[in-house]
A and B are shown apart, each in its own frame.
Chain A
Amino acid sequence: MNQLPRIVLTGIGLTCPLGNDLPTYREALLAGKSGVSLFPVRNMGEQPAGVCDFDQKKYQKRKEIRVGTRAGSIAIYCANEAIAHANLDLEKVDPSRIGIYLGITEHGNVETETEVCQLFDHYDEDIKYWTHHHNPRTVANNPAGEITVNLGLTGPHYTIGAACAAGNAGIIQGVQQLRLGECDFALAGGVSESIRAYGIFAGFKSQGALASHEDPTRASRPFDKGRNGIVVSEGGCIYVLERLDDALQRDANIIAEVAGYRINSDGTDYVLPNPVRQEECMRQALSNANMQPEDIDLVSTHATSTPQGDEQECKAIRNLFGESIGTKVNNTKSFIGHSMGAAGAIELAGNIPSFEDGMVHATLNVDEIDPTCALPGLVTGQAIKKEGGVSVILNNSFGMLGINSVLILKKFEA
């Protein structure tokens, strides 16, 4: 690890249900404001969901919006914002040296479902009405590829399918490609358009894992006794990553440094999480970062508000951080729901300002803590100022088929 180039974050672009830039999002997190609202879902009525309201036309022509996908628009918005935030002048950068690595939980459900529904509803299943845009919209690289078309970038681009561990996985891929020298700048993170496919909601409902609550802002409630499932959200978050030497040379504003990471697999079940492997993944990420549990100031949990999943993650965290009294724990899905392939990247972003302000945002909607989720460092109610500040964040993101990803980020020190 020590011989490998150090990788730093120099730009962040995001859209999430609490804002379309980091300061707005962070302010809402510290204020304890929910971003969940009711959203009409085909065949299912209004459901609690996290919806983004970024201006699609800020970086896209109307024709691009019509031809492309929602995930593509989210990706394009985030990429442009990240590049601007990193103060990168694309006129002065070799476009073949920029790589794009985006995590996705799934892609193509929205486009396929919409097309099938139209064919059944209006065209008597006659396939001559099926759009010729279907394949470019549904290929798995679509959101990353749309960025290259929008910005004229010519380096590598692809998506990383990693279920809900994908946000971290995209960043990790970017780190690895920079270390391999495959690119000089990585646009890395995750995106999701999942709220626009009723099949995603219906799938969670059939699984007994879809959140319901008379007040949508209270539907996502990880660790609370009354939690009953996931609030599906859309969103995206893309980081500009660079090798430290390059960033210093161009006098970039360094936001944070990647300290370590790990991706592993449960190898046990399609859906059910495995706390032994989750703990192992966190432990290996710590080892990768050459750190101990006590070095972690904040654990940003994956917890999705399902009865079983939250309990399992807490078990893994308790085993690893039980003795680490200084480690705080929070959860962002309680504010914005589960933004699927973007979740890991968005949740990490919301915590990054902690390096500067020393604040830890709370976990929303924990009215009565489930004893199986009680963790000593869990921050509920209101945001707190952490004694000694926040220098290291461990970000959990786990997904179906037992994929676990852990990313450790640290405050940059030259």
Chain B
Amino acid sequence: MDKDKVKQIVLDIIAEIAPDEDLNDVKSDVRLRDQLDLDSMDFLDIVMELRKQHGIDVPEPEYRELESLDSCANYLLPKFEAGAAA
């Protein structure tokens, strides 16, 4: 697992949640909400899919860690690694 793979996992989830969006040119360092039509309910969907598909829990105070692909990668990578080691 590396950061690029985490970013792809997040993008795959967004593709399910926002199927009308073009995800070919998502910038890693820009807030997802600033470049895609995502609302707060969509972020709850991302949290739910991380939980359902990958067993990763994101506590509510840490939702802001998901604001861009870069921040997602930084925040989620240790969780994925911890999950893989378990």
Near A by CB (< 8 A), chain B positions 37-60 give 37, 41, 44-45, 48, 51-52, 57
Chain A residues with CB under 8 Å of B48's CB are: 129, 131-132
Give how many A residues have a beta carbon under 8 Å from the other chain's beta carbons: 12
Query: A358-384 toward B: CB 8 Å interface, digit per residue (1/0)?
Result: 000000000000000000000000000
Near B by CB (< 8 A), chain A positions 103-147 give 122-123, 128-129, 131-133
B61 interfacial by beta-carbon distance below 8 Å: no
Chain A residues with CB under 8 Å of B37's CB are: 63
Please determine whether A66 and B17 come into contact, CB atoms closer than 8 angstroms: yes
Closest to B38 in A: A63
Name the distance in Å between A231's Cβ and chain B's nearest Cβ: 33
Please determine whether A61 and B20 come into contact, CB atoms closer than 8 angstroms: yes
Chain B residues with CB under 8 Å of A131's CB are: 48
Known: A128-B51, A129-B52. Contact between A63 and B19, CB under 8 A?
yes
Chain A residues with CB under 8 Å of B17's CB are: 63, 66
Q: How far is the CA of A61 from the CA of B20 in the complex (A)?
A: 7
Chain B residues with CB under 8 Å of A128's CB are: 51, 57
Chain B residues with CB under 8 Å of A63's CB are: 17-20, 37
Name the distance in Å between B50's Cβ and chain A's nearest Cβ: 12
Q: How far is the CA of A51 from the CA of B45 in the complex (A)?
A: 29
A67 interfacial by beta-carbon distance below 8 Å: yes
Q: How far is the CA of A66 from the CA of B52 in the complex (A)?
A: 17
Q: How far is the CA of A123 from the CA of B48 in the complex (A)?
A: 12
Chain A residues with CB under 8 Å of B44's CB are: 132
What residues of chain A have their CB less than 8 Å away from a CB belonging to chain B? 61-63, 66-67, 122-123, 128-129, 131-133
11 more contacts with CB within 8 A, not counting A63-B18, A128-B57, A132-B48, are: A61-B20, A62-B20, A63-B19, A66-B17, A66-B19, A67-B41, A122-B52, A129-B48, A131-B48, A132-B41, A133-B41
Interface pairs A-B: 10 shortest CB-CB: A62-B19, A61-B20, A132-B44, A62-B20, A63-B20, A63-B18, A63-B19, A129-B52, A132-B41, A129-B51
